Amino acid sequence: MYKKGLISRIILLIYLLMHKCFLLAVGLLVYGLLPAQQFGGHPTRTQWSQINTDTVRVIFPAGYRQQAAAIAGMVHRLGQQTTQTLGQDFRKISIVLQPQTTISNGYVGLGPWRSEFYLTTPQNSFDLGSLSWHRTLALHEYRHVQQYNNFRKGVSKAFYYLFGQQGLELVNSAAVPNWFWEGDAVYQETSLSEQGRGRLPAFFNGYRSLWSAHKHYSWMKLRNGSLRDFVPDHYKLGYMMVAYGREKYGADIWGKVTDDAVRYNGLFYPFQRAVKKYTGKDYKTFRKEAIGYFQSSLATQPQDSTVDGWAQQHRHFVADEEYPQWMDDQTLIFVSSSYKKIPAFYIRNVLGGMDLKLRVKDISLDNYFSYRNGRVVYAAYQPDIRWRWEDYSVIKWLDANTNQQRTLTHKSHYFAPDITEDGTQIVAVEVLPGAPSSLHLLNSADGALIKKLPNPDQLFYTYPKFFGNGQILSAVRNPKGAMSLGLINMADGSTEYLLPFSMNVIGFPTVHKDTISFTAAYKGQDRLFLLVNKKLFLFTPPVFTAATGHYQLQVAHGRFAWTAFTAVGDHLEQGVLNGSQLRPVEAAEFSTAPANFQVTGLATGKNTLQDELPTDTLYPVTSYPKAFRLFNFHSWRPIVEDPDYTFSIIGENVLNTLQSELYFNYNRDFRYKQFGGRFTYAALYPWIRLGSVYTIDRTTTSLAGRGVYYNTWENSIGLQVPLNLTSGRYNRALTVGSDLIYNKPYFQGIYKDSFDDRSFGYLSSYVSFSNQLQTARQQIFPHLAQSIYLNYSRAFINRQGNQFVATANWYFPGFSRDHNIIINTAFHGRDTSATYNFPTAFPFARGYVGLNQHRMFKLGANYHMALAYPDWGFANIIYFTRVRTNLFYDFVRVQDYDYRSSPRPKIEVDFRSYGAEVYFDTKWWNQHNVTFGFRYSRLQDLSRLNPSANRWEFIVPVNLLGRD
């Protein structure tokens, strides 16, 4: 058995490394698609500290010692208690705490080996829970650290030695499905705390909605998603698979499965093979039983379920309708979005008629808003212009009668604002990581701070609402993560708790006179509740569905409105309120522990690691030098773009301030060799760019027609200023830069004294600008956008010459929501001295061999449209999400002079082409997004360089707007 396994692994390694191997070809393509860490972005004044132990290095800016110590303590305990389920291998990790972004997230990655925690606590407890946010991140993300630590074995280890960290990441992701990575981490955060996503009813809404709507998708569709149908993400699928495996086959099952998989024991489908080996069930049977295990306890088929019936009537995703609020007894205002439409405010008359679109919502992290008496307030996302790791949450004020909007605050960290009935004051939650959240009272006229309320109980506030005179209602979390509803006294910040604290999440409170409505987790579901004169009622609407959660209840004018989670979108329901819809319940019922959803391994609640330890004195804090391991080379990779064959050694430090690359390139057509290096330093502003490349065996032609070989050494230094101008509804970016290039030729042999070998220099300056409207899921490109690039180069040392290039792409909507019209314009102009030809970025007419002449003009037209959404795949290798086409026409006019005659007559030549491109948006191995296509060009102007009228090309497109 050993010999057979060894031979199979050797065969697989050879198979993966073959030059023409399809897997490696796609793998190299995927290298360019791996998610990149945020580069640069911290103000130069930022001083970094560290807690450096034998297990972890936690790096943090001043003011976050308590969180850093808690994370270090949890990491140590996790390493001691959880390694037996996945393996004993260990490598130290650096964790960088990012407190200045309003985004709540975290990740672990290779290339370089590091983790980053985004420390802003999220408002919505239903999505990620209510535990202390930095502890949740530690529980979840350190499981990824343990995964990477134990996945460097066998073939995966060989790829690490051959290609570095990115090579390891590539083969790990091919061997172990992404549902396991995230499902295993969700299981850890759930099993080692009193909550975790595995205990949140909302976490299961996706699959509950599919089952109740009788939507039975293929395994590959569940794995890869869809552009036309709602499909729960791999976190939900992964948790069900991992939890079932542990329930049925023991806590060590996945350690054994992944150990075989990353070693590639078995030539093909190593993970599936390992599942069969250790469970005795083939992969198809195992996954069917895992989903069935949860379906038996989660899915219900109520007798009177018009919401589920509505979802069954629609074949594809319809829309999300969120946060309905009564304007009067007949009119609702809400936010709607879909796979074809970006989020916007809409007004609906419940008696009938078309919805009225009020305004597209500014770019926001969520769709929450508050409405009172003709006024809307909400929090919008606002990045810092210079620093990529700093962004803000600012308050927008919208008059629903005039459709006029104002920005009330700037560079603020405000969330979930509410406005008083008279419109004079706003309350919002200020969230500053490292400090308790606080409620701020603001003047609605100018956003000025009126008062900051005390927070004596160290609560985290969510979704505050004005209540009566002198009180604010809020769903609150205590430091341990338990939740309640609180009435906060606006005078002294003292809180009256309306419900007992528990790990059952609460959110979306609303107020109408003496009636409070809210959503809370209750007996395994998210249900609607009312508090009337502090008496608690469970609200059961007449269209009650027990399958999924109910949210955002709004009661006013004797009517109700709420949203139901369905398989085709969050659906708005409304009706007349009556007493039969209310059932009294005892507040003590909220004290019950959250549901485990048949995962008995969670039932005991033992070994929880969420409690804070007195770690401040355990871990000394020292300064973290910004230059520590600045040249951090982590990966080495071959890149084949015929005729160029390149081998690069790449690096980036943990603080994301220096990108490094050393490379060798061989050009097969001209047979020259290049040795070079490129470096970008972003710890200062502007960024500094350095480059140097030595080229051997360049060629030119002598007057006698003989080939002349020479070497060149080119060095460059430049500055770059990237600016983020995003605001309102548009993403905007401006980059300005300039590079000084110095080139020295070295002629060899008999031509050493025959050619001008003087060194020369030139300056290349550029401006890049993009402005784009938000993009819905099915939209191929933004419906409105502009992308402009300008470049001017001028020689000034021992050479004369200049060149100017301008390109612009203009985006417009087509005849359907998933269509785009794109107009391409470009100009190229250079001097006529011909002493030096600068590199040019002029986009020539498609199908032709590009030129670099005195004057060139381009006008191009494109019509992009979706042809089909197949949602179909093959053998768990390739999955097609969309097939789309582009019909194009290009016109280029070239003007130059005939240098062979005197005087030089002017020459003008046109290059026209038309044709079609077909693109396939795909996923490989159920997780890597890859777009490829084919282009047919019909050339109308033939020449010696372009003798054939028909041109076929295989294309890998690059996004014209340059987005990630």
The sheet with strand 471-477 has its strands ordered as 460-467, 471-477, 483-489, 495-497
Q: Which residues of 810-832 are buried (b: 16+ CB within 10 A; e: fewer)?
A: ebebbeebbbbbbebebebbbbe
d(CA 580, CA 532): 15
- Residue 69's pLDDT band, with cuts at 50, 70 and 90, is very high
Measured in degrees and rounded to the nearest 5, phi and psi for residue 838 equal -75, 150
Q: What is the pLDDT of residues 398-448, one digit of tens each?
A: 999 999 999 999 999 999 999 999 999 999 999 998 788 999 999 999 999
H or E element, residue 634: strand 633-641
702: pLDDT strictly greater than 70: no
- Residue 229's pLDDT band, with cuts at 50, 70 and 90, is very high
Which residues have a Cβ under 8 Å from the Cβ of 956 and sit 6 or more positions away? 29, 931, 932, 933
191: pLDDT strictly greater than 60: yes
Q: What is the pLDDT of residues 603-656, one digit of tens each?
A: 654 556 655 554 555 789 999 999 999 999 999 989 888 788 999 999 999 999
Mean pLDDT of 538-542: 85
User: Of 430, 493, 438, 429, which is closest to residue 463 (Cα–Cα)?
Assistant: 429
Place of tokens 């010999």: 3
d(CA 707, CA 859): 38
How many CA atoms, within 13 angstroms, populate the side-chain half-sphere of residue 120? 22
- Residue 747's pLDDT band, with cuts at 50, 70 and 90, is confident
The pLDDT score that the predictor gives to residue 304 is 43
749: pLDDT strictly greater than 80: no
83: pLDDT strictly greater than 90: no
Measured CA angle at 911 (ends 907, 917), to 5 deg: 165
Fold for domain 317-593? Neuraminidase (2.120.10)
d(CA 169, CA 113): 10
Task: Specify the CATH number of the domain 2-38+48-299+601-623.
Answer: 1.10.390
59 neighbors 92 (Cβ within 8 angstroms): no
d(CA 584, CA 251): 42
Classified as helix, coil or strand, 223 is helix
Place of tokens 């003047």: 443
Distances (CA, A) of 222 to 235, 241, 614, 964: 11, 13, 44, 24
**pLDDT, mean over the chain:** 89
Q: What is the pLDDT of residues 829-854, one digit of tens each?
A: 998 876 677 888 899 999 998 888 89
Mean pLDDT of 115-119: 96
Which residues have a Cβ under 8 Å from the Cβ of 244 and sit 6 or more positions away? 289, 290, 293, 294
Distances (CA, A) of 770 to 224, 450, 527, 626, 732: 30, 38, 44, 32, 6
Neighbour tally for 842: CB within 10 Å: 21
- Residue 759's pLDDT band, with cuts at 50, 70 and 90, is confident
196: pLDDT strictly greater than 60: yes
- Residue 956's pLDDT band, with cuts at 50, 70 and 90, is confident
**Domain ranges in the chain?**
2-38+48-299+601-623, 317-593
Helices 165-175 & 22-31 angle (0-180, nearest 10): 120
**Both tokens assigned to 50:** 């560290």
DSSP bridge pairs for 719: 688, 738
944: pLDDT strictly greater than 80: yes
Mean pLDDT of 168-177: 93
Mean pLDDT of 343-355: 94
Q: Write down the pTM of the prediction.
A: 0.92
58: pLDDT strictly greater than 50: yes
The pLDDT score that the predictor gives to residue 35 is 42
**Both tokens assigned to 341:** 């439409």
The pLDDT score that the predictor gives to residue 17 is 42
Distance between start and end Cα atoms, the chain: 46
537 neighbors 529 (Cβ within 8 angstroms): yes
The pLDDT score that the predictor gives to residue 544 is 59
831 neighbors 801 (Cβ within 8 angstroms): yes
d(CA 194, CA 123): 19
The pLDDT score that the predictor gives to residue 407 is 97
885 neighbors 819 (Cβ within 8 angstroms): no
**Both tokens assigned to 184:** 């295993």
d(CA 664, CA 673): 7
**Both tokens assigned to 160:** 């690490």
The residue type found at 335 is V
User: Of 490, 428, 436, 482, which is closest to residue 460 (Cα–Cα)?
Assistant: 436
The pLDDT score that the predictor gives to residue 16 is 44
The pLDDT score that the predictor gives to residue 788 is 98
Going through 449-595 in order, the beta strands assigned E by DSSP cover 449-452, 460-467, 471-477, 483-489, 495-497, 506-512, 515-522, 525-532, 535-539, 550-556, 559-564, 571-576, 582-584
The answer for 263, left when phi > 0, alpha when psi is -120 to 50, beta otherwise, is alpha
**Both tokens assigned to 76:** 């140590």
Which residues have a Cβ under 8 Å from the Cβ of 918 and sit 6 or more positions away? 867, 883, 884, 885, 933, 934
- Residue 706's pLDDT band, with cuts at 50, 70 and 90, is low
938: pLDDT strictly greater than 50: yes
679: pLDDT strictly greater than 80: yes
20: pLDDT strictly greater than 50: no
The pLDDT score that the predictor gives to residue 899 is 67
Classified as helix, coil or strand, 186 is helix
Neighbour tally for 898: CB within 10 Å: 11
Mean pLDDT of 100-115: 94
Percent of residues in the chain assigned helix, strand, coil, to nearest 5: 20, 40, 40
- Residue 298's pLDDT band, with cuts at 50, 70 and 90, is confident
d(CA 125, CA 508): 10
d(CA 508, CA 372): 16
Q: Which residues of 340-362 are buried (b: 16+ CB within 10 A; e: fewer)?
A: bbbbbbbebebeeeeeeebebbb
Q: What is the pLDDT of residues 787-820, one digit of tens each?
A: 999 999 998 888 888 999 999 999 999 999 999 9
CA torsion 234-235-240-244 (nearest 10°) is 100
d(CA 847, CA 836): 26
Which residues have a Cβ under 8 Å from the Cβ of 642 and sit 6 or more positions away? 668
